[in-house]
Chain A
Amino acid sequence: MRKIKIATLVLLTIISIRSEAQECKFILTGTIIDPHETTGLNDARLYIEEINKQVYADSLGFFAVSNLCKGSYHLTFNHSSCEEKKLFINLMSDTLIIVELEHHGHFLQSVTIEGTRTGSEGASQNIIRRNEIEKHSGEPLATLLEQVTGVSSFKNGSGIAKPIINGLSGNRISILNNGLNQAGQQWGSDHAPEIDPFSVEQIKVIKGVDVIPYGGNSLGGIVLLEPSSIPKDPHLHGAQLASFQTNGNLVAYSSKLEISKKKWDVRWTLGGKIGGDRSTPDYYLSNTGLKELSSSVFLIKDKPHQSSRIYLSVFNTELGILRGSHIGNVTDLQEAITKDVPFFTKDNFSYQIESPEQKVGHYLSKYSFQKEINKHFVEFIVAGQINHRREYDVRRSGRSSTPALDLFMQSYSAEIKDKLTLGKSNLIYGLQTRYNINNNVEGTGIFPLIPNYQLYNVGTYMQWKNVHNRISYELGIRYDKNYFIVSYQTKDIPKTIEQRSHDFDNYNFAGGLKYKVASPWILRLNLGRAQRSPEINELYSSGLHQAVAGIEEGNINLIPEKSLKVMLTSTTNLSHRFIFEASAYYQQISDYIYLEPQKDYRLTIRGAFPLFVYKQTDARIYGIDLLAKIDFTDHISWVNRASLIKSKDVLTNSGIPNIPPHQLNSSIHYTINKLEAVKNIDIELGNKYVFKRTDLQPEQDFLASPDAYYLMNARLQFDCALLKQSVNFSLQVDNLLNNTYRDYLNRLRYFSDEEGINVKFGIKMSF
């Protein structure tokens, strides 16, 4: 059964007390506790669906319900500052249960239950749980991750966003869809990860030693999306979430159904969204609509000490790109920069998506088998992924309907890992192998931006954790071999296909230490040395990057980047009333791969273009992330966050492009629990201030970094019972003051302002 505990993040102990009680004379007693304090939770409550009864626990978290009949019950546990927990029990006798409710933990690092149980103590993880994910209905994955201090996103309009973790993005971070390295064209700065975040139960942002089991090449960290276990409840349960946004008239829907049958536990998710042209305070952003449809099926078959799991998912999206951002040459770009309103801006709203646009399909299948043998917990995984990306440009003679870029990638992987528990230590080790094949689909009529290639990867790792009362430590080591076989097209006439291979070895080491200075004060130190070998675009990309009016050229002589990162985190937590966390990091990357602007322009028939070649330099990135949360009363709390980051190219002494500017966030929350008809009222008022980047040289960009800006947002949400169902309503307003601004991390800043006010309505029904 241990595997279930690990996956569900619920610790539940049911102790049956023998009783001679009659029918409908059973007593259910229990305690609702905070797992970190092992004390009862004040002000917690329990709802029993079958008898429609709300029960309040006492100040120590104790509750008792008498006169219950024999039978099965659905229980829901609530506490204002905790994640809601649902349980299904079969009442056969008087029963005592102990329920652990996890505090809203996304603010803090390392608050994983898995961690407290298995000793993932030196690690640095942030977890975004289901209810936080749901608040961001309609948004892409990357903007949803922005609630984690130190995470920002690189955008190409609102619909296309990529996460940045402590200043690093793209090839330097890995996105794991269901534990699998997302296969696809992740190198592209305008290629968003093809994942529906609403199909998963939790998302983790992992830095430090815990990155080791998931793959090399992640200098910045990883984003791990995971479905949770399916509750052992024989009845059909589910949730439906629908939202509407006024900006872009975007409608989003997602649903989840789950049931536990004798043989299989099943979960089915379905999600979709459709949106039209977004708007700034002054004009429409023409052709920025999007469509998305995704679905997944998760099957679990549990037997004593073993479990088989099958996960299948499909994801399809169509994303419009601002028409005015499609330009022909440098003159066009410079003209676009001077325009207040982008070219091709229409006066009316439309759902229609025309070129330039992207259509992407992602298909994933995964089978895993887990078995517990004595102190070993062994998992075997095989998986396959298909990613088909088509990008359309504005072209002549009806060619706009022919993709200008058409890439078809297949990825197959197999993995075996073992977790060995030895007293207070545990050892995780494994072997992974992956084969990727990426082909340009014929018929684009355009010289391919990246060539066809095959990638063979073999990785092996070991991670050791040791947990003691005051000091815990962990060590990790990983080796990866990446072998590329590339079939590239020559530039000289006659054009032919030639083959070349590249062989890279990457070594990663990491260590973590956690020291409990005093009960409310914990210090964590992480130290890691990581290596990242160049990716296909850095080696081979060739041709005009129309979006940025530059010609990019790969460099086959690149060697792996070597990073050394140290991170120190201090967490003070005074009984959840006052939380202060400071995390400072310093990362030094030698042979940092970047695009160097060349002195000479390259002459083409479309004029002279600046030439950018992938080169290597030495880089430093350092910063500090701060979080302070104060609960003034049980109802009012104040959350403040700051992310300060500096970067330096050691050779040129200037800043590094695409590193986020400093940022401050502050929000006030007002929560009321005990109103009769309406529950869990939560009112939030948030502020955000983003600074201007001043450390860049004029020759590094066509346009200086945009000015600093300030945004305000507000949110109201509450639960109420409608037709015996629990319904959650929310109303959110982003950019409340309808400010006009441009964001440094949005590539469209050359062309257009950011979105204006956006009012979002959401409704969620659970049954």
Chain B
Amino acid sequence: MKTIGSYKSILLLILLTSLIQACQQDPLPVNESELITTLTYTLTSPIADSVVLTFEDLDGDGGKNPVLKVTGPLQANTTYSGKLILLNQSVVPMDTISNEIIAEANDHQFFFLASNPLGIIFQYDDADSNGRPIGVKTKLQTSTVGLGKLKIILRHMPDKNALHVVSGDITNASGETDIEVEFDLEVK
């Protein structure tokens, strides 16, 4: 019995020390380094007012609903330069996620889908190391007047070699969707 007693006490000791270890953890809120809280698409033109499209969800998935804003209408028959900026404003200092996208340009591509009646034409204005588009910089050309929607999609690991993907057709792009936001858009 003596030996059994000592086994028991050793085991209990192991248990107790691990218990003390276990209780020491003081949880901290998670630093959500990968979160994209904010997307801004800034459209500038020398002959028209700038238009800024913003999607903002500071608390991430869940919590409060995201806020979508468009500063004003686009002008018809005008060419705009578009620039996308992605931010993570949940961390201090805030993080510019679009820089991560540019650093991994070969694995990312934005797609811009405007609803048909608007007749907007997009062109990529940047390229990755293989000469294929990224979409952080774009040229946007408006034509007729109208109301519609603009969807911006970011695909992670798309197949940029697939048919028509380089020209901005998402049909064969595959990959995973990291961003999919839709704005109401007016062309005046």
Contact = CB atoms under 8 A, between A and B. Distances in A.
A445 B156 contact: no
A369 B27 CA distance: 37
A67 B187 CA distance: 107
Contacts of A328: 155-156, 176-178, 180
A262 interface: no
Interface stretch (A436-444, A722-730, A734-742): A436-444
Nearest to A542: B62
A5 interface: no
A367 interface: yes
B67 to A, nearest CB: 10
B121 interface: no
A544 to B, nearest CB: 6
B93 interface: no
Nearest to B38: A605
Interface stretch (A35-43, A395-403, A576-584, A679-687): A395-403
B55 interface: yes
A239 interface: no
A605 to B, nearest CB: 5
Nearest to B31: A445
B19 interface: yes
Contacts of A543: 61-62
B30 A492 contact: no
Interface string B105-116: 001000000000
A241 B65 CA distance: 57
B7 A367 contact: yes
Interface in B7-51: 7-8, 11-12, 14-15, 18-19, 22-23, 25, 27-37, 39
Interface residues of B, number: 53
A604 to B, nearest CB: 5
A605 B66 contact: yes
A224 to B, nearest CB: 23
A606 B29 CA distance: 23
A412 interface: yes
Interface in B40-96: 55, 57-66, 90
Interface string B148-188: 00000001110000000000000000111111110000000
A606 B180 contact: yes
Contact of A369 (B8, B22, B34): B8
A445 B33 contact: yes
Contact of B18 (A399, A410, A496): A410
Given A396-B104, A397-B103, A602 B62 contact: yes
B179 A605 contact: yes
Nearest to A384: B15
A261 B65 CA distance: 68
Interface centre among A335, A412, A440, A603, by most B CB within 10 Å? A603
Contact of A551 (B8, B33, B62, B64): B62
A431 interface: no
Given A332-B177, A384-B14, A491-B59, A604 B30 contact: no
A721 interface: no
Contact of B27 (A310, A367, A440): A440
Given A397-B100, A446-B34, A369 B179 contact: no
A18 interface: no
Contacts of A439: 22, 25, 27
Contact of B11 (A343, A344, A365, A553): A365
Contacts of A603: 65-66
Interface in A288-310: 301, 308, 310
A487 B26 CA distance: 9
A399 B35 CA distance: 12
A11 interface: no
A420 interface: no
Nearest to B11: A367
A493 interface: yes
Contact of A605 (B15, B25, B57): B57
Contacts of B27: 439-440, 451-452, 487, 489, 497
Contacts of B31: 445
Interface string A514-531: 000000000000000000
Contacts of B14: 365, 384
Nearest to B173: A335
Contacts of B107: 396
Q: Which one of A301, A335, A412, A604 has the greatest number of beta carbons of chain B within 10 Å?
A: A604
A412 B28 contact: no
A447 interface: yes
Interface in A361-379: 365, 367, 369
Contact of A310 (B7, B22, B37): B7
A331 interface: yes
Nearest to B8: A367
A382 interface: yes
A327 interface: yes
A605 B100 CA distance: 17
Given A326-B176, A384-B15, A497 B64 contact: no
Nearest to B57: A605
A603 B68 CA distance: 11
B153 to A, nearest CB: 8
Contacts of B28: 442, 497
Contacts of B39: 605
Contacts of B100: 396-397
Interface in A476-501: 487, 489, 491-497
Contacts of B32: 445-447
B176 A332 contact: yes
Interface string A403-420: 000000010100000000
Given A365-B14, A369-B8, A491-B64, 4 more contacts: A367-B7, A394-B157, A445-B34, A451-B27
17 contacts: A328-B178, A367-B11, A384-B14, A397-B104, A439-B22, A442-B28, A445-B33, A447-B60, A452-B27, A489-B27, A491-B63, A492-B63, A493-B63, A495-B59, A497-B29, A605-B39, A605-B179
The list of the 7 closest CB pairs from A to B, nearest first, reads A328-B177, A607-B180, A491-B63, A445-B33, A328-B176, A495-B29, A329-B177
